[in-house]
Chain A
């Protein structure tokens, strides 16, 4: 591996590593606009100019420098400072004084670098170029060409990631401006990412526009639950209110992108479809009361447990423990397919056809109870009366199968659907960003959820809701702390052996699955586990 030097600090990096990344490794930040780790290098903003000491020639742009043995750069010379100052001055020549009304302010590279490297006394004598402001260029995006610094990130994104190529930099020199081809509108499902990658406020998200100043927001890590991909996200929230989801970089899963469906799914957190209170026979009830009612229904009945592909692995594990401790004759089912109200879009970039985030988690835990029935088996069992009570986690069983409702149906879920209205007892589960837990995505990657905001209404974490039934039976079936539950889970499920919640880190851990899921492009190492 080549040894490079940044400001005299030696660091070993894989060959071909971008020098911006190499510098980051030793804690040196090289300011940049056009460079993006998941886009090709364009090298047109010149902000990343550094002094090359050895292995190159004169000042050069760091983003276009691959690490080679003996390369040494410096970012702390007066020359570099002067270069940055001049580049900033150029970039700001036509930039409007829009910060007070600009949504980007607070997370704007231009602001940040200006404060650090800028030419604070303006030497500009000529009038600024006026460009198109507030152009409606897509379903999700507003373009303000004046604020653009011509970094071409957005152009490369539409060329390389979505392949739609709607955006271009038009004209030359001072007149250069970003624009969209006439008669074209952004129509792909990844528009939100344009607002994220635009280092300034030229491309802003319509949905988030003027909603909140970003400096108020707190960011918490989570995982998107829209489909089986399990894109890593940051939840931006203030005072228990969620304002947006943004992608969190995970090179193995979603790079730096998320789809618009997932991005806007933050609205579900406060949607009117949320189940915010426990219900018994359609009447509002306290949670322990409802759990008691559920226990009464399940006790002695011929119970079928439908493991939830949208529930956390922990909740499914709690169901396993509940069956083992209290419902010894219960049968396990996992129902394939998507809920009727799931969005239908799918593509080859990120969005999976499977809209359940934890299919493997449900299957893995259900298999702990021996044989696992599928949709047909459940239908048959219900018809024949072999099962006359159901415990359902999240999945809209009624909507998916159209099964006749058994008289005793206990539903643990986040949203109202056909099953929740048919259920005799409803226990409200928190939204996935409101609770800790783990999901296993389509690659077999165990990813961690975190409690980012307080659960809405009376809802509790889904494993706690299942545990409440256990308590109603006479004793908790799982520990209280998420880490302890996961420990138990990791010990009890072979595929998860050896994992710890902390060990999952920010990017999750790949596990060995017993069966590959069809239609998955990056499956985990498939191996039967029995």
Chain B
């Protein structure tokens, strides 16, 4: 039968290999080579590493990068979201909780009274974005440093997600404002390019 895994044939060690010592020394020569190369690189000030000095140096993220969620708005400033719960239905981590409310003065009568995403549970799959029939939720912020000092703060709320890319930023994003060169594109108020 062809689906039997063929036995892996072990190569027989030759004499010098079977003493280990020679091979050990060879291996040590290789590692020492790396050490010497790297030390010389360091002394010369020409780093031989690929390591990035985060947070001072940052890798630019791809346009399709899925970062923190934001909620988009209509031209009149209201949420595009109509609390249809398609996103929370699609969410495999079940981390979106929405409470719908009725907006009496709007032909689009349904809107989210609460819209919370538990970022500790989110797996950044982007299903919520795919599921949304209203283009109300997006993950194009390119913000990947999603952290907080408490579990409670890790729950991103409706207004936080609306304000994430425009106007007054919440406390945790203060830093981006002070370091504009590091802030994601569009963070400082320009509207990010609409993906057609």
Taking Cβ atoms with an 8 Å cutoff, the residues of A that contact B are 99-101, 105, 133-134, 209-211, 213, 215-216
Contacts and interface: CB of A to CB of B under 8 A. Distances in A.
13 contacts: A99-B133, A100-B110, A101-B108, A101-B110, A134-B109, A210-B83, A210-B102, A210-B110, A211-B100, A213-B84, A213-B85, A213-B89, A216-B89
Interface string B83-99: 11110010000000000
A100 B86 contact: yes
Contact of A133 (B89, B101, B107, B134): B107
A455 B86 CA distance: 31
A209 B107 CA distance: 15
A105 B85 CA distance: 11
Given A133-B107, A134-B109, A215-B89, A100 B101 contact: no
Nearest to A101: B110
Nearest to A144: B109
A100 B109 contact: no
A209 B102 contact: yes
Interface string B106-130: 0111100000000000000000000
Contacts of B100: 210-211
A100 B89 contact: no
B165 interface: no
Given A133-B107, A210-B110, A215-B89, A100 B82 contact: yes
Given A100-B110, A100-B133, A134-B109, 7 more contacts: A100-B86, A100-B134, A101-B82, A101-B108, A101-B110, A133-B107, A210-B100
Contacts of A99: 84, 133
Nearest to B83: A210
A101 B109 contact: yes
B174 to A, nearest CB: 35
A133 B107 CA distance: 8
Contacts of A134: 109
A211 B134 CA distance: 20
A211 B109 CA distance: 13
Closest 4 CB pairs of A and B: A100-B84, A101-B110, A210-B100, A213-B85
B101 A101 contact: no
Nearest to A105: B84
A100 B133 CA distance: 7
A210 B101 contact: yes
Contacts of B109: 101, 134
Contacts of A211: 100
A25 to B, nearest CB: 34
Contacts of A213: 84-85, 89
